A and B are shown apart, each in its own frame.
Chain A
Amino acid sequence: MRLDICYRTKFVFDAPARESQNELRACPASDGRQRLLGYRVLVEPSARMLSFTDYWGTRVDQFGVTDSHAELEVTAEASVETQDPPSFSREAPRRSLADPDFLDRHQEYLNPTRHTSWDEAMAAEARDLTGPDAHDAVGTAMHIADHVADRLSYQPGTTEIGQPITAILANGTGVCQDYAHLAVAMCRSVGMPARYVSGYLFSSSDRTGSIEGDLVRVQTHAWFEAAVPGQGWLALDPTNRLAVGRQHVKIGHGRDYGDVPPLRGVYSGPGVPRLEAAVEIRRMDPTRQPPAPMRPSLLAAVRAPRTRDQQQQQQQ
């Protein structure tokens, strides 16, 4: 799928900021599943950009504005070509997660972090769900994703970033970051390496936005990936109960939100900023496939390895 994405964030200060320094992580990744065709960043007031790739492989655009400014607008435009990911087999047994080399490579995706630290109650919930030998590695991740989708109800604007896992579970509500953090924490608690993914979703069923023809207006999205021995990272979207597919555009990944925030920075001055953020995604493909609908269960959708034909059948 060919998608054009426009990410825009505007800070409006009630008293001008003297200085601001920012980092933008909005550029779609280039990996096996998606190809970046073009990307540019515009900042108003204008600023010199420093672009680099961070530890996690995400492109970062850094800029500072050192003149007094009452507004700061950041626009990132990207064109990207996406595909569905390869299907995963159910052959990797749970015990393969304990392989020492596998653990050594994935150590940083197994520990609790600021946004993914869990308590014994959550660990028990994850254990009950997956059982010590009940599932293979792929099944474990999908069960967790399904469970998170069942456990939470989506409520836009309910939380700020940084809601701890215990609060997510207690409230039973959240936004996509909370879904992703809970799934990551549950995977890690049962010994499955998992990482948080920041990205965009083109979908009529995404509850964060609206659709008009080939244009959707949404917010940035988040999902998670779990490491499957011998096969790589399995990407799942618990918020929408979707296997990650061509409508998902990945920006990057990290241990949690803190490693891949779309925009972070500091400003100086007495003012308080009001934030306006929006993402527009336009489908540029000549063939008009409708966006994927929601599924009753991730597991049902992903259980059997799918061919492209089968998937198109499901989508119709």
Chain B
Amino acid sequence: MSVPGFFDEAADSSGRAREHYRTVQEWFDRLTPAQVSGLEEQRNESFRRQGITFTVYGGEEGTERTWPMDLFPRIIDASEWAVLERGLTQRITALNRFLDDIYAGEQAAVHEGIVPRRLITSSSGFEREAMNVSVPLGARCLVAGIDLVRGADGVYRVLEDNLRNPSGISYVIENRAAMTKLLPAVFSDMAVRSVDHYGRSLLRALRSVAPPACGDDPTVAVLTPGIFNSAYFEHAFLARSMGVELVEGRDLVVDDHVVAMRTTQGLERVDVIYRRIDDHFLDPVVFNPHSTLGVPGLMAATRAGTVTIANSVGNGVGDDKAVYAYVPELIRFYLGEEPIIPNADTYLLWEPDQRAEVLERLDELVVKPVAESGGYGIVIGPTATDAELAEAREKIVADPRNWIAQEVVGLSTLPAWAGDHFASRHIDLRPFVLCGEQAEVIPGGLTRVALREGSLIVNSSQGGGSKDTWVLGNPDPAAAPS
């Protein structure tokens, strides 16, 4: 069932189930297609009832769909996870050091020649309005989502960093909740590490970056653009799981550089804002003056140090895909360590030599815009039409700083239900890392799966689905559900 040339997560080269997949594989092997379809029906009904949906933009219809979770889980054994956990912690620690160096430090990485200055100044994510705004603990990226893929050699590589507003954690938790209901027998046979402590961990991380002057009991709020945002479900979910207020910009007011929210009991001071609004909509005084989603004066309050915004403004410079190419060097520079999880091989198109090579081999490479996420704007050489390649070439030549190219990474495969049988489909992994007083990697993360045969595009916005992701090991007592 494997796809030749790709790493099969569940089976070895002889087709035998890998040790950590054996229980699950045997369990699914015993089911008839009708039983699997029955489970799928239950799953759909449960998601529909809870309103767990997502919006697809740019298709023929801007549509709301039920969350497509495939039943066959992704499983990561304890020792493999331990390496990933260390590697992710290392990476986000270095990225936070970099962001704080750029915005609130001496820009040592520039002065020491690790990155060229123009890499920063030409990044659309470099936000000059955040300059010299300090953040408690230097935790500028409090919630990171780091996308990993596993190539034919079985090596995990980082495909991109998401340091602004990574979404998807609510699906991780909802997937688990659904799976424990659908497959209770499997869970009782295996030690799967819990994920439902996320709300408590997030709240702890947010409170740890409260302004020092605000006392022992800081007030946290989640700032959403509103119900029409595609991730509104997640914003509401997170506020609920932390037990904090979900607010929109119009619910907040800045008075004498202090932020307060309007409540039924009057104004209540807010100390930490977990914002899920993009930088440019946060404060019409300094950003888009026509934005009604934000809060006038919020940036000044942040600068005054009376409130902390998480994630910090300007993190886009850290997940710029041209900066990504330098992350291994940044890890060596800030931490004096060798990177534990390597990058995918990447070409910087503003370097004339690299650009020339890429333009020669455009049909073999993946080309990505540096500041986008969610799979938008990506051109996959081997499957692109001549017209698409010509267009990509034109765009690269016109604005080389805006593009990178990468070798195609063969995404690993797992069985996924294809209507009447299980078939191999490509997957990636977005683990979530919280960085408060110390980094905490949520066991597993969001495994995304390309549900169409042969497709390498896993983004839910592009027709991808997800899988529950199980990390095996003794459940962490601190993370046990309450």
Contact = CB atoms under 8 A, between A and B. Distances in A.
Interface stretch (A46-54, A71-79, A180-188, A279-287): A46-54
A258 to B, nearest CB: 11
Nearest to A19: B296
Contacts of A128: none
Contact of B297 (A21, A55, A111): A21
Interface stretch (B48-56, B248-256, B324-332): B248-256
Nearest to B283: A21
B255 A66 contact: yes
Contacts of B129: 54-55
A66 B297 CA distance: 11
The listed residue with most A CB atoms (<10 A of its CB), out of B122, B286, B304, is B286
B257 interface: yes
B303 interface: yes
A108 B121 contact: yes
A234 to B, nearest CB: 21
Interface string B249-284: 000011111000000000000000000000000001
A21 B121 contact: no
Contact of B285 (A105, A107, A108, A264): A264
B289 A266 contact: yes
A50 B304 contact: yes
Given A54-B131, A64-B255, A22 B285 contact: yes
A290 interface: no
A104 interface: yes
Given A66-B255, A265-B285, A266-B285, A50 B117 contact: no
B126 to A, nearest CB: 9
A55 B313 CA distance: 14
Contacts of A107: 117-118, 121-122
Interface string A251-272: 0000000010000111010000
A273 to B, nearest CB: 14
Nearest to A23: B285
Nearest to B295: A21
A301 interface: no
A25 B192 CA distance: 57
Given A50-B304, A107-B122, A266 B128 contact: no
Nearest to A105: B117
Given A55-B128, A266-B285, A50 B253 contact: no
Contact of B300 (A19, A62, A103, A111): A62
Contacts, number: 67
B63 interface: no
Interface string B216-259: 00000000000000000000000000000000000001111100
Given A52-B132, A266-B284, A266-B285, A64 B296 contact: yes
B116 interface: yes
B296 A55 contact: no
Given A50-B304, A266-B284, A64 B131 contact: no
A259 B128 CA distance: 9
B128 A54 contact: yes
Interface residues of A, number: 26
Interface in B111-136: 116-118, 121-122, 128-129, 131-132
Contacts of A23: 285-286, 300
A213 B118 CA distance: 48
A107 B254 CA distance: 36
A138 to B, nearest CB: 24
Contacts of B117: 104-105, 107
A107 to B, nearest CB: 4
Interface in A219-256: none
A22 B283 CA distance: 11
Contacts of B304: 50
Given A21-B300, A54-B131, A55-B128, A104 B254 contact: no
Interface in B34-76: none
B297 A64 contact: yes
A45 to B, nearest CB: 13
Contacts of A54: 128-129, 131
B122 A108 contact: yes
Contact of A64 (B132, B254, B286): B254
A268 B116 CA distance: 42
B154 to A, nearest CB: 39
Nearest to B256: A48
A304 B391 CA distance: 51
Interface string B125-156: 00011011000000000000000000000000
B256 A64 contact: yes
A111 B285 CA distance: 24
A104 B132 contact: no
A52 B303 contact: yes
A104 B254 CA distance: 39
A12 B285 CA distance: 19
A47 B286 CA distance: 19
A9 to B, nearest CB: 16
Contacts of A55: 128-129, 131-132
Contacts of A52: 132, 303
Nearest to B103: A55
A54 B304 CA distance: 13
Interface in B150-189: none
A65 B117 CA distance: 39
A237 B304 CA distance: 36
Contact of B296 (A21, A47, A53, A108): A21
Interface string B1-13: 0000000000000
A54 B118 CA distance: 19
Interface string A95-109: 000000001110110
B24 to A, nearest CB: 52
Nearest to A100: B116
A48 B257 contact: yes
The listed residue with most B CB atoms (<10 A of its CB), out of A21, A23, A50, A55, is A21
Nearest to B131: A55
Contact of A103 (B118, B132, B254): B118
Nearest to A107: B118
B305 to A, nearest CB: 10
A109 to B, nearest CB: 9
Contacts of B128: 54-56, 259
Contacts of B132: 52-53, 55
Contacts of A47: 256
Contacts of B303: 50, 52, 62
A21 B285 contact: yes
B101 to A, nearest CB: 15
A55 to B, nearest CB: 4
6 contacts: A50-B257, A53-B132, A64-B256, A66-B253, A111-B122, A264-B289
Interface of A: 19, 21-23, 47-48, 50, 52-56, 62, 64, 66, 103-105, 107-108, 111, 259, 264-266, 268
Given A52-B303, A66-B255, A265-B296, 9 more contacts: A48-B256, A50-B303, A53-B132, A62-B285, A64-B296, A66-B253, A108-B122, A264-B285, A266-B284
Going nearest first, the 3 A-B pairs with the smallest beta carbon separation are: A107-B118, A55-B128, A55-B131
